[in-house]
């Protein structure tokens, strides 16, 4: 599968993504500088794109002057993206707390299934920052041992969104994390 990287600052309208079929986005290490990025991504998804959104909360979400902390902007880039996708009334992201929780894959068979990603091989909510998703209108792909939806998928317009609340470091710290990334990418494609 051909892969190309894009600077998020260059995405201001859906047309900027016209040659992209699957977009993998994370706001873990770099937050969007402006809300228009979320609006462009959401419009692109509604027109038939597939978004794989990775990442969880971090200490930078509390910056008082950040655009996402202005009234009506959602309180985080993730919440703002859910607003632009038109699902904020039915789906919300919450911070997972309470120590390491084993994760289970519920996303069915993928072209990248691996024996290394087994129950308990990957954990969430420990030292890393993790979101889980609450609400309705989505299918759970990945959940904690106590049933919190850490990975979800849902349709918006003609497109599809996969959201996984694990920190991006979780995909590179272990074989299980790398296997999960391959499974998510296979599911998205």
pLDDT of 74-123, one tens digit each?
Answer: 999 999 999 999 999 999 999 888 778 889 899 988 877 877 777 778 88
* CA separation for the pair 96, 101 (Å, rounded): 9
| pLDDT category of residue 126 using cuts at 50, 70 and 90 | low
Q: Say how many CA atoms lie within 13 Å of 17 toward its Cβ.
A: 28
What is the percentage of the chain residues whose pLDDT exceeds 70?
A: 98
Query: Residue 65's CB: how many other CB atoms inside 10 A?
Result: 6
Strand, helix or coil for residue 181: helix
Stated pTM of the model: 0.94
8 A C-beta contact, residue 77 and residue 35? no
* CA separation for the pair 151, 23 (Å, rounded): 16
Question: pLDDT digit string (tens) for 5-23?
Answer: 888 888 999 999 999 999 9
Give me the phi and psi of 41, to 5 degrees please. -60, -45
Q: What is the model's pLDDT at position 25?
A: 94
Q: Is the pLDDT of residue 35 over 90?
A: yes
Query: Residue 90's CB: how many other CB atoms inside 10 A?
Result: 13
What is the average per-residue pLDDT within 23-46?
94
Q: What is the DSSP letter of 90?
A: T
Q: Say how many CA atoms lie within 13 Å of 71 toward its Cβ.
A: 0
What is the average per-residue pLDDT within 124-150?
89
| pLDDT category of residue 30 using cuts at 50, 70 and 90 | confident
**Given CA atoms 18, 5, 163, 37 in this order, what sign does their dihedral have?**
negative
Q: How far is CA 44 from CA 12, 29, 47, 51, 122, in A?
A: 11, 23, 5, 9, 32
What is the percentage of the chain residues whose pLDDT exceeds 90?
A: 61
Across 102-111, 156-165, 178-187, least confident range: 102-111
Q: Is the pLDDT of residue 165 over 90?
A: yes
Q: Is the pLDDT of residue 127 over 70?
A: no
Q: How far is CA 96 from CA 15, 27, 30, 49, 123, in A?
A: 35, 17, 21, 28, 11
8 A C-beta contact, residue 38 and residue 11? no
């Amino acid at each position: 599968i051909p892969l190309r990287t894009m600077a998020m600052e260059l995405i201001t309208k859906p047309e900027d993504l016209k040659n992209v079929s699957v977009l993998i986005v994370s706001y873990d290490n770099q937050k969007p500088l402006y809300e228009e990025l979320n609006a462009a991504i959401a419009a692109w998804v509604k027109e038939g794109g597939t978004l794989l959104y990775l990442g969880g909360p971090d200490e930078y979400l509390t910056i008082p002057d950040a655009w996402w902390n202005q009234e009506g902007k959602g309180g985080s880039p993730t919440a703002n993206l859910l607003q632009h996708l038109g699902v904020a009334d039915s789906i919300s992201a919450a911070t997972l707390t309470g120590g390491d929780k084993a994760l289970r894959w519920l996303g069915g068979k993928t072209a990248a299934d691996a024996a290394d990603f087994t129950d308990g091989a990957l954990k969430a909510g420990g030292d890393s920052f993790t979101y889980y998703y609450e609400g309705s209108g989505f299918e759970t792909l990945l959940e904690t041992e106590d049933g919190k939806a850490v990975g979800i998928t849902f349709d918006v317009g003609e497109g599809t969104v996969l959201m996984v609340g694990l920190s991006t470091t979780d995909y590179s710290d272990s074989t299980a994390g790398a296997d999960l990334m391959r499974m998510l990418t296979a599911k998205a494609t």
